[in-house]
Amino acid sequence: MGRLGNFENIKNRQTIHTSNSYSVLDVEIDTDFHEACSSGLCDATEMEIPLFKYSEIPDFLQGNPYVVSGYRVSLPFNLCLKSIFKWNNETVNVWSHLGGFFIFLYLLLHDNIIYIPRFSGSYTDHVMVSLGLICYQFCMLCSAGFHMFACHSEKASKRWLAVDLAGISIGVIGCYLPAVHYAFYCLSIWRDIYLITITILTVTTMVIQLHPRYFSHRWSKWRIAIYMGLAGYGIIPTIHWIWLNGASSEIVQLFVPKVTTIYILGMIALVLYLSKFPERFYPGVFDFIGSSHQLWHIIVVCAFVFWHYAGQEILSASHIFDWVWSDIPVPVPGPGEALVKVIRAGICNTDLEIIKGYAGFQGIVGHEFIGKVEKVNPESEEGAWIGRRVAGEINVFCNVCDICKGDDYVRKRNHCPDRTVMGIVNKNGTYAEYLTLPLQNLFQIPENVTDLQACFVEPLAAACRIVEQGLVSTGEKVAIVGDGKLGLLIAEVMAQEDCHVTIFGRHWEKMNLCPEKITKVLSDGSEELINKYRDYFDVVVEVTGNMGGLMLTAEITRPLGTVVLKTTCASGGTEFNTSPFVVKEIKLIGSRCGPFANAIQFLKDGKINVDKLITKVYPFKEAINAIEHAGKKGTLKIQLKMD
């Protein structure tokens, strides 16, 4: 592969010499190559593709005098295709964007098959994400096509340049569509205004391309200015979005650096393109690889990929927007109910799963709270309740079914078949200023228990349920598998029962929050760890809900021991080996909601310190940021404080 010095005219059997004269080179090469290959007088697949210097190419191919060699000239289309497998100064330009096309094709399939279903995404989610990725793919193909076929002829070059520029416009739209849609997810008027505006600007840009001089070298700076304006328009909705959310809010702090990064990448690419760096300082050195246009291509692909992953975070945040903010009338308490003004609400992992679609719940999320009674129905009961600080059991039983007619309170509390469950099943929850609950569900909070502590009554009661079920005895060896919020609470409750407690987890910083008398074990899944604790514990409480935790639980529980399952939102798994449970005759027991009175007593007596489990308290107006924070790895308890 090299520059053609001379070649035979297959048609006339005359020797044609290349010349610095444009007219000779253009006529002779265009005629000989095209006619020879199309007439079948030569096999184009076996013909060496000639490469030329900058001084030898026609004007329509000129643009960067610092790339001095490696040019293809007047190739028929079949040789244009073949040339992408040969080194020339367009090889990297073509393959960087062909590669980009396949990257975005993979992401299109991955997001629609795997990522979006994780959020139980809607049809709109699939459409918006797909549109963005399809726009990127279109941009990549248009660019690759231009760099592949522009050398065919001046006419082909102009046509493919029009396609390339149209692809850039579509690529810019691909950046805007998902970002604007999800950033203004709850403000449909502004979302539509911005999307319509960017569509009009893009169509206008394409119409301008109809001008006969638009593709000339003299208009290159105007083309750059137009596309800079198209991309720079995004600053307007960005500033508007920051103003709406508050510059100090966590969601803004999370995404502004990403927006800044995408513009920095664009500016770097633009500076390289305009300055023709680095070839300007080393002409001929970067002809085949490393020139400014090739770097521009690579940065564009990286920027699109980066922005796509930033968009995934916007997508997840948008689902939180959809669940949190709405205005509804203050609820009216029914007979035997109280209207409670919420003081604080805790964010539980179950809430996060419900937001993602678990249990198919539609309504106000949340079930951990501390509030103050403002109204009671009937009014005759107001004297005993008005002004009290209360926490509330989340299960509202029907008082009608056979279970509820019986004397077993625990059974109807947890297992009434017609019960509603606050924030989980058919009853609005605690992420609101007001809620209603039956008086029988309410428990007064002692004066020495703070609002922060009282918000832990519900999860602490769930930990106390294990004792209420009679599953542990003094002196027994008890293991807790999982070092999340609930696991830490269970460990402390078990320690209060004078059990020998061991907690298995993956985070030393979490386990070290437990009292010193509780043994901490870093769970790495190693054979050495399993061998050390195999068949050791009388009772094992599994709190992770994942396969790894269940497998460890099966190994460390002694024969005829007890396994307690505390996770209602267990992760899915393809296989679960029940053999160890059968062979060792292990009792497998579920455990849910527990006694509020016991939990409140623990807090009143100061026997369990829940303050250390708080990661952060957010004002209610920043609920979106709070929920996003709660979902981050390593976070313990997040609470919402009502204004």
The response to whether 367 counts as a known ligand-binding position is no
Q: Which residues of 250-272 are buried (b: 16+ CB within 10 A; e: fewer)?
A: bbbebbeebbeebeebbeebbeb
Q: How far is CA 98 from CA 104, 138, 146, 227, 372, in A?
A: 10, 10, 12, 22, 63
Neighbours of 441 (CB within 10 A): 21
The response to whether 147 counts as a known ligand-binding position is yes
The secondary structure of residue 113, as a DSSP letter, is: I
- Using the Cα atoms of residue 177, residue 182, residue 183 and residue 188 in order, give the sign of their dihedral: positive
The secondary structure of residue 445, as a DSSP letter, is: P
Q: Judge if the upstream peptide bond of residue 378 is cis by omega within 30 degrees of 0.
A: yes
Q: Which residues pair with 519 in a beta bridge?
A: 502
Q: Which residues of 572-586 are buried (b: 16+ CB within 10 A; e: fewer)?
A: eeeeeeeebbeebeb
The response to whether 297 counts as a known ligand-binding position is yes
What sections of 40-62 are H helices per DSSP?
Answer: none
Residue 183 buriedness (CB in 10 A; 0-12 / 13-18 / 19+): buried
Element spanning 294, H or E: helix 292-324
| Nearest one of 584, 578, 541, 544 to 561, comparing CA atoms | 584
Give the distance between the most distant pair of CA atoms in the chain. Answer: 115
The answer to whether residues 90 and 73 touch, using CB atoms and an 8 Å cutoff, is no
Rounded Cα distance, 296 and 26, in Å: 30
Q: Judge if the upstream peptide bond of residue 178 is cis by omega within 30 degrees of 0.
A: no
Rounded Cα distance, 484 and 117, in Å: 25
- And the tokens for 590? 């579920």
- Return all residues near 103 (Cβ < 8 A) that are at least 6 apart: 301, 305
Q: Which residues pair with 339 in a beta bridge?
A: 375, 436
Rounded Cα distance, 321 and 244, in Å: 13
- Return all residues near 115 (Cβ < 8 A) that are at least 6 apart: 312
The secondary structure of residue 115, as a DSSP letter, is: I
Which residue numbers belong to the known binding site? 147, 293, 297
Which residue numbers belong to the known binding site for Zn(2+)? 147, 293, 297
